[in-house]
Amino acid sequence: MDVTSWDLDAIPEEEELKEGRHVMEYHDAEVIGNDNGWQAIKVTFKIKDSGNFVGCTFTMQANNPKAVEIGKGSFNALVKAAGLTSMKDTDELKGKFISAEVGFNDNGYPEIKDNFGKTWQAVEKTKPSSKPKVEEEEESSGIVDDEIPF
C-alpha cells in the first residue's frame, strides 16, 4: 500500500518528557471500573507544546470511603484550577489548561503526581503585551548637540 500521499515524513518527533510541573490541556475523560464496584473518572491531558499525554484517575465509587473522599477532592481541585466553579459534564473541561506535577510510575509511564489534589494549579493567562509608547519627535531647532558652545 502506497502511503506517500499522507506525508508521513512530516511526523514530529516526540520530545522526551521530564519530571516536573507542566502546563497541559484537557484531552478526554472516561469512566473506568472493576467487578468489585470500584469506579473512577480517568482524565487524559495533552502536555502543552509536546506530543506527550498523561492521565490521572479519580476514584468516585469504592468500598473504601477514604479513597472516594480523596478522589472527589482531587477532582474538585482540578475543576477549580480549570477556572470552573461547578461541573455537570467533563466536556466543560475542553479547551482548558491547567498545571500539574508529572512523574513516572514503576513501569516508566508518565503520570500526574496528584498529591491528594494539591498538584492542580490554574494557568495564568498571559496578557497581550502593550505596544511600546512611541514618543513624538521634537521639532528640530537646527542646532546639533555637538555645536553647543558649553
Residues 96-105: pLDDT tens digits?
A: 999 999 999 9
Rounded-to-integer distance, Cα 62 and Cα 58, Å:
11
- Strands 20-33, 110-112: pairing is unpaired
pLDDT-based confidence at 146, cuts 50/70/90? low
Per-residue pLDDT at 16: 80
Q: What does the pLDDT average to over 116-126?
A: 85
Distant-in-sequence, close-in-space partners of 31: CB < 8 Å, separation ≥ 6: 39, 40, 41, 42
In sequence order, the β-bridge partners of residue 43 are 29, 56
Residues 77-110: pLDDT tens digits?
A: 999 999 999 999 999 999 999 999 999 999 999 9
Residues 57-67: pLDDT tens digits?
A: 999 999 999 99
pTM: 0.72
